Structure 1
Amino acid sequence: MAGLEVHLKSPAAPPGSKHFIKRISELFEKQQDADCRIVFKLDRTPIGAAPDSAAGSGSGPDNNGSNEEEPREVGSLLAHSWVLRYASDELAAQMNWDEKKAGGKRPAKRQRIAEVEVEVDEAQASTSGPPPQPLAAAPGLPEVVVRVRGADDVPYAIAAIKFGYTGLVEVGGVREALLVRRQADAVGMAGCVEACLEAVKDKLQQAAAASKATAASSAAGAAAGPLAAAGGSGGTGNGGGGGASLSGLPALELYRCIELWPNQENDPDWAVFTALLAEAKKQLVEHFGDALAVLNSKELYDLMRTIPAAAMEALLESDDFGTDSESSVLLMLDRWMDVNYESTNTEARRRLCGHIRLLQCSDTYLSFIVPALALAHHDQPGTKSSWLPITPVDANWFTLYATSSEPMKEALWKSRPKRRVPAAWLSQQPRRQCLAPAGRAYNLSLSREDLVSEFGRLQPEQTGYVSMAVEGAPSPSLLVMSGLMWGVHLSAKHGQTTGGLWLGLQVPAIASGAAAAHVAKLTSSKPAQVPDSSVRVFGWAGDGQQVANAVVSFDDSDIILFDQLLGLTIGLAVAPEPAAPPGQQGEQARQAAAVEAQWARYLRDGKISGTITVLPLSLPNAAA
């Protein structure tokens, strides 16, 4: 019919016989119809060198009569050439067996193979992951050689070969998937490399879904948290996604096996892999949250110090990784360097340090901490103390700039050391501010036993101080704000009806060796600004109802000296004079009762409770 266009739609590819596919998959490792033997041998080719031309062929000594020792066999597997030759071109190339070596003819595909006992460790068989390695296979069959770097790689090579039968990748985690991928790439198992990367993607997606569910659950319970019940304001805890579950996070597992990543220069899978890295980086940042969260959560802090350099760089270079101040980011990197310096090289350390926005550090850091690190770098190059590659001259420029007037800053900016320092050091853009306007509150507590132990032994005219514990912090009685270490303390004087609520500044535990000595020297008796914050101790009536709290608030106009306290006087009850039972124990009991009576207004459930709330810095150009 003229003028009539007919578009024929190609029929969908038939899925194939399910029965046939099932029977093929069931043949894996089975004697039925097996006509060859996969032999796993150690690859002695140095990493990075071109492989031996004979390595993939399974041939013995080379043709020029070399007596080179045959690579050691570390495992074997019954196989079916009529399956694998269509699954892998690399394996198929070895299946053109010399008829002379095969006795003039290829073995019949349906010949019966003598039964061979295979030992399998019961504990290994009961665990998930790649299949256990067969310890033996029938001799006398043509061999197909698969090279492995070590005996530990054999299970992953077996998993790659199994894919040729089943079309499935069975792995327990990201590392296993990448190990199978490496073996699949080596044997040219069609589709297996892509399936392994898809398995990694699935692990990341599952983790993302679980993280969203956890976040929703946490948000639902936040309104009824202990701080809300106590009448506090703001949010409690840290801003991270939790440290306990993060240790098994697929994103972190991906960064822990960087040696298994595709080659960025020449691997065609790199483009696909970059998408996986982008998702992993996103999850990594979401779980660690921000520098303030990391430094004030023992779980996140301990985990942060174990992450590889690639993961640390992912955090530092991300615009989504927040902080209260760049000083906290510098402290976080210092604490990581403290345990990872020896496992990094100069280039890796320069890359990490190059992501610090040094100009955004506090005046205190640029006046005392950075110069101390510069002196250590100058005095002891190549040591842990010298991890920050900055010279005293450049550190002096940052100090001058931080403490100068606006006209002076304009003049200094023209002579900035832009050719000597990383571009990020001079960045005018702060990181994302991690604190909401209401701030972030951390719970404080002091047990009745610690209270009595300190104040119960005071003699007339003596004053005692006791530190309150910060819930969940790496250092039990210290909180990090703006990269500095702060403690909340209570004080009492023997026989007095008033006590004290104090905020104390401690020399930061930054650097080690020479750098730590320089920090201590430069900060001794020096002033520092107090970050915007408030400290609250809860007061209670006899019926358990909350009454007036003891509160002290600070802002950046408050100045404190290192190793000194700043705070206010709080009222205590007039301590009755309880009768003292005879003996030393009786006197101790009397003193304990007197202390408890003095602090009865603040004691509840065997402890004194409160919060310290960190408020956002008052920076006009702070990132939202």
Structure 2
Amino acid sequence: MLQALRSFVAALFGSEDSSDCIVEFNLSKDEADRPAKRQRTASEQKSGDSEEDKKLRAEAQNAALTATSEASQPPKQEVIDDVLVAHTWILRPGSTFFRSQAERWTAEQPAGSKRVLRVPLGSPDDLPHARSAIRFIYTGELDVSSAANLLRVRRMASYLGVEGYTEACDTALLALARKAPAPPLTTVAELYACRTLLPDPRGEDPTAAGLLDSLRTAGQEQLVAYKGTAAEVTATGGSKVQLGELLAWAFQDAPGVLNNPAVKGRARSLPPCCLEALLSCDAFATDDEASVLLLLAEWLDANPSTAEDVRKRLCGCIRLCHLNSGYLTGVLPLLSWFPLTPDEHILLCQMMAVLSGASRDQFVKMATQSDYQWPSCWTSGAARPHGSGSVGRVFEWSVAQEDVGGATGLVYRGFEIYPSVQLPLGGGAAGAYLCCRLPTCLKPSRVPAVVVSPGNARLTAWKWAEGSDGRRERQTAHSFTYKDWSDCMRWAGWGTPKALPLLAAPAAAAAPSAVAPDPLARWAPYLHEGRLSGTLEWLPA
């Protein structure tokens, strides 16, 4: 019976049978009605716009326009010569947009007339997407399959408030992204080609961030499995995409990769040609070139049998002239695997004191004319786009009560920054600090003498107290905001010495046979399930 009802409703799409309304499609002439321009990522802003980018962006900006505030007033839009016979008893429960319009029409509708429901469009090209969204209300099925059309209809359906379409579209997009394509990477290239149509995770769509993460994950998995050597990929429809651009879209930025264990694992598994394309791509963002060098070190650590010529070629992709001073002067000369001799390092540091331009070009010419052959990006070239997927994210940290000290760290500008809780001998309060260390994959010959900035960061530690319902609830015990170089540090860290007051020490056992007091009892207010915990967050500059 239920299937018969579904078939009956589906057959009514565009039919006069039981119709009580028509849907009219209009072109908006009021620029104020157009939605805000979609924000792009830093890498997209830096990389420039192709003609395809401009076309797709125009489509994205023109989709899903605002309707007139009162349907009884003459519309400000130009009517497209196409109407759809429809049924309010189907549209109202399936779309918040049509439900609102139908309710406004009820009071003034002349007897025996059909209601006119108006859908504003930004372009005549949006008409098939609007019809597809309405068709879904009747059928519950998608009638488009390409990534670009799915996303165009998704935007329209989201504006119309079509129940269930976003979920169905996202399921179809993920199935497309995870499909093993032939030839390889065509589905990743297809998603990349229509990336400006993807929902903005900073907007009002609560599913946008999860969808983008899942699509990028699928793209990363395909790139890891890539066995080819071509530097260019053909997307569905015939457009050409550079392999490096696909990688930069999928992996986005170096600190974001390094601070996400799953993504870092996939980056460590990339084939050499893909890693070289990623490191060479101008769209790959970072907080500092040191994080890109660290990413290379992670890959080499996972691929110890890499041939020497491949390792040297990959090292040649690092823009040494954009390393922070701690890495350039302190860390780089301690990396035996990086093809730079001590004399070359001296010349490189000397070069950095020369202003870029003709003077530096002449210096490089003199330094390399006989003995040294430096890759061009060691000494020149623009810095990568500045960006970090870690900024604005709240990272949870915790340490077991028996391991009070340092927690797992996060990468910032090539260094590993980690929270540490320290108790001086005989002290009545514990200190909360941010400390730094070099990631082990770098394999330095010794610990360098450098001063490190933690950036603009906020360190928080939690305490636990009984709430009104009798259950333990989390509260802020300590919070400290670091201000870049104002709170710089060496390896021992920087923070608040008396951040966490402890309970009084328990009395010593009176008799030798008595049970010794628990030395961790003093930490009780800060322990939850046997762990100290808090958050670390990097703040926008």
TM-score range, shorter chain: 0.5 to 0.7
Identity, % of aligned pairs? 23
Aligned counterparts of 2:261 and 2:339: Cα–Cα separation in 1: 28
CA contact (8 A) 1:241 1:287 kept: no
Cα RMSD of the aligned pairs, angstroms, is 4.5
| Partner residue, 1:393 | 343
State the distance in 2 between where 1:306 and 1:277 align.
25
Q: Which residue of 1 aligns with 2:495?
A: 567
Q: 1:284 aligns with which of 230, 247, 253?
A: 247
Residues 554, 409 of structure 1: alpha-carbon distance in 2 compared, 3 angstrom cutoff: farther
In structure 1, the residue matched to 2:405 is 466
Structure 2 residue corresponding to 1:500, chosen from 422, 431, 434: 431
Structure 2 counterpart of 1:415? 363
SS of the residue corresponding to residue 485 of structure 2 reads coil
Give, in angstroms, the shift of residue 351 of structure 1: 3.5
Instruction: Return the letter of the residue paired with 2:320.
Output: L
Q: Could you tell me which residue of structure 1 aligns to residue 331 of structure 2?
A: 369
Given the alignment, which residue of 381, 387, 400 partners 1:434? Answer: 387
- Structure 1 position 587, deviation (Å): 2.5
Which residues of 2 match residues 43-58 of structure 1 at below 5 A? none
* Residue of 317, 321, 328 corresponding to 1:359: 321
Aligned match of 1:20? none
- The match for 1:485 is 416
Counterpart in the other structure of 1:328? 291
Change in CA separation of 1:223 and 1:309 when aligned onto 2, cut-off 3 Å: closer
Structure 2: runs of 5 or more not aligned: 1-177, 468-472
Deviation at 1:363, TM superposition (A): 0.4
* Superposition deviation, residue 396 in structure 1: 1.1
Amino acid at match of 1:173: A
Q: Given that residues 527 and 559 in structure 1 are in contact (C-alpha distance below 8 angstroms), is that contact kept between their aligned partners in structure 2?
A: no
Report 1:130-529 matches (<5 A): 173-174=180-181, 177-178=182-183, 201-202=186-187, 204-205=189-190, 220-221=205-206, 241=213, 245-246=217-218, 249-253=221-225, 256-258=226-228, 278=241, 281-340=244-303, 342-344=305-307, 346=309, 348-373=310-335, 376=336, 385=337, 388-402=338-352, 404=353, 414-416=362-364, 417=367, 420-427=373-380, 429-435=382-388, 439-446=392-399, 450-451=400-401, 453-454=402-403, 465-468=404-407, 477-493=408-424, 495-512=426-443, 516-517=444-445, 520=446, 523=448, 526-529=449-452
- Contact 1:325/1:361 (8 A) holds in 2: yes
Quote the offset at 1:310 in angstroms. 1.4
> What is the CA-CA distance between 1:322 and the residue it aligns to?
0.8
TM-score (norm 1): 0.47
Q: Distance in 2 between matches of 1:580 and 1:389?
A: 61
2:479 counterpart residue number: 550
Q: Quote the offset at 1:219 in angstroms.
A: 8.0
| Equivalent position of 2:60 in the other structure | none
Pick the structure with greater CA Rg. 1
Q: State the partner residue of 2:66.
A: none
Query: In 2 relative to 1, CA 396–210 (structure 1 residues): closer, same or farther, beyond 3 Å?
Result: closer
Structure 1 residues 607 and 221: alpha-carbon distance in aligned structure 2, compared to 1, 3 A threshold: farther
Q: CA deviation at 1:593?
A: 3.1
**DSSP 3-state at the match of 2:431:** strand
Report deviation, 1:491. Answer: 1.3
SS at structure 2 position matched to 1:432? coil
State the 1:324 CA deviation. Answer: 0.8
Q: Equivalent residue of 2:516, what SS?
A: helix
CA contact (8 A) 2:411 2:417 kept: yes
Residues 1:616 and 1:527: Cα distance change in structure 2 (over 3 Å):
farther
Relative to 1, partners in 2 of residues 1:242 and 1:173: Cα closer, same or farther, differing over 3 Å? closer
Give, in angstroms, the shift of residue 303 of structure 1.
Answer: 1.3
What per-residue deviation string (whole Å, max 9, x for no partner) do you get for residues 406-455 of structure 1?
A: 78999766412466312211235221111489644422123xxx22x25x
Q: Contact 2:255 / 2:411 at 8 angstroms: preserved in 1? A: yes
The residue type paired with residue 322 of structure 1 is A
In the aligned structure 2, how far is the partner of 1:284 from the partner of 1:552? Answer: 34
Which secondary structure does the structure 2 equivalent of 1:445 belong to? strand
The 2-side partners of 1:336 and 1:550 are apart by 35
Query: Which sections of structure 1, spanning at least 5 residues, go unmatched?
Result: 1-170, 179-196, 226-239, 377-384, 455-464, 469-476, 618-624
